[in-house]
Amino acid sequence: MHALRVVAQLLLYVPLMVIIGYFSTAPKFTHLPDDRALLRLSFSHAGERVRECVKRSPEELAKLPPNMRAQFDCPRERTPLTIEAELDGTLLFRVQA
């Protein structure tokens, strides 16, 4: 009974391994032609403080909704970002946002 179970597992697993092995290398797929390239940019940008944090008074806190009652008011805004792309020392583009 044990030998039958081993043979049955081999009959199942060997074809699956062959299929996985084949599709790991074929059919050949290229995302972009050889003369093209892909540049992907991803980042996270936190805001900078506009001014020093101010402690809110109990009266100011009472006027705010419960979910907005932070003790300190620290206003932030995004600072400008500059994104540059160079290829072999030549500036391809520059964007400021």
- Reported as a single tens digit per residue, the pLDDT across 13-42 is 999 999 999 998 888 877 888 888 888 877
Q: Which is it for strands 72-73 and 76-77: parallel, antiparallel or unpaired?
A: unpaired
Q: 9: part of which helix (H) or strand (E)?
A: helix 2-25
Q: In the predicted model, is pLDDT for residue 67 greater than 80? A: yes
What is the pLDDT at residue 9? 95
d(CA 83, CA 86): 10
Give the pair of three-digit tokens for residue 94.
Answer: 């520059």
Q: Looking at the 3D structure of the chain, how many domains does it have? A: 1
Q: What is the pLDDT of residue 65?
A: 94
Q: What percent of the chain has pLDDT over 70?
A: 100
Cβ atoms of 22 and 41 closer than 8 Å: no
Q: How far apart are CA 26 and CA 22, in angstroms?
A: 6
User: pTM higher than 0.75 for the full model?
Assistant: no
Range of the structural domain that residue 16 is part of: 2-96
**H and E: helices and strands count for the chain:** 2, 6
